[in-house]
């Protein structure tokens, strides 16, 4: 069984540099995109465009981050 780390403070990953570091360390296949306040209107909370612009991520990796990795992790829910 693989270990799943949770609870990373969202404030630590608001920058492209921090997001790139996270993905570089754990791999795109272990990153899940989530939000608790969609459409809040604050630009710094809209991370989807930031993630989409990160260098080195292909469409498969982006699809994983935004949906596929969660579906794999929580397979029983889908």
Digit-coded pLDDT (tens) for 40-70 = 556 656 788 889 999 999 999 999 999 999 9
Structure tokens at 58: 């292909």
- The answer to whether the beta carbons of residues 50 and 16 sit under 8 Å apart is yes
What pLDDT does residue 51 have?
92
- Indicate yes or no: pTM above 0.95: no
Structure tokens at 37: 């306040």
What pLDDT does residue 1 have?
42
What pLDDT does residue 4 have?
55
Q: C-alpha angle 16/4/36, rounded to 5°?
A: 55
pLDDT tens-digit readout, 22-46: 999 999 999 998 876 665 556 656 7
The Cα-based distances of 68 to 40, 41, 55, 63, 78 in angstroms read 24, 26, 20, 6, 11
């Amino acid at each position: 069984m693989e270990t799943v780390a949770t609870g990373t403070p969202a404030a630590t990953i608001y920058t492209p540099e921090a997001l790139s570091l996270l993905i570089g360390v754990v791999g795109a296949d272990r990153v899940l995109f989530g939000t608790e306040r969609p459409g809040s209107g604050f630009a710094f909370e809209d991370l989807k465009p930031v993630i989409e612009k990160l260098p080195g991520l292909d469409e498969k990796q982006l699809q994983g981050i935004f949906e596929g990795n969660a579906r794999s992790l929580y397979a029983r829910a889908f």
